[in-house]
Amino acid sequence: MIALGRMVSGLALWAAAFVVLYSLHGLGCALGWAQVEMFGITRAKAILLGSWIVLIAAQLVLLVWLLRRRETQLDRIGIAIGWIGLAATIVTGVPILAISSCV
């Protein structure tokens, strides 16, 4: 059971990252964070970027942790899924860079 948890942890963390970013986006639009400028960007974009960076760092920490065990096939599958989770987290946040927060 623990091996299964390690195996799906990369995508589970990506799913949590998706929920966090999506929720912060909605909250930022509802609270008017898109109208407040800080350092040349809106407060909503600053919060989303900061959160995205923290979530990518969390994925990297998870991946390093997964890379420490490579004995079984399930461990190696977990590592592959960890890489997929990292890539998915990066791709999920790319629109933060390109699109305005609230239209």
Domain residues for 40? Answer: 2-98
Q: Domains in the chain: how many in total? A: 1
70's CB contacts (< 8 A; 6+ apart) are 76, 79
Domain assignment present for residue 103? The answer is no
pTM equals: 0.89
Tell me if 45 is assigned to some domain.
Answer: yes
Is 28 a member of any domain?
A: yes
Structural contact between residues 44 and 33, judged by C-beta atoms closer than 8 angstroms: yes
Residue 91 CB neighbour total at 10 angstroms: 10
Count CB-CB contacts under 10 A for residue 56.
Answer: 16
User: What pLDDT tens digit does each residue of the chain (103 aa) get?
Assistant: 688 888 899 999 999 999 999 999 999 989 988 888 878 888 999 999 999 999 999 999 999 999 998 888 888 999 999 999 999 999 999 999 888 778 7
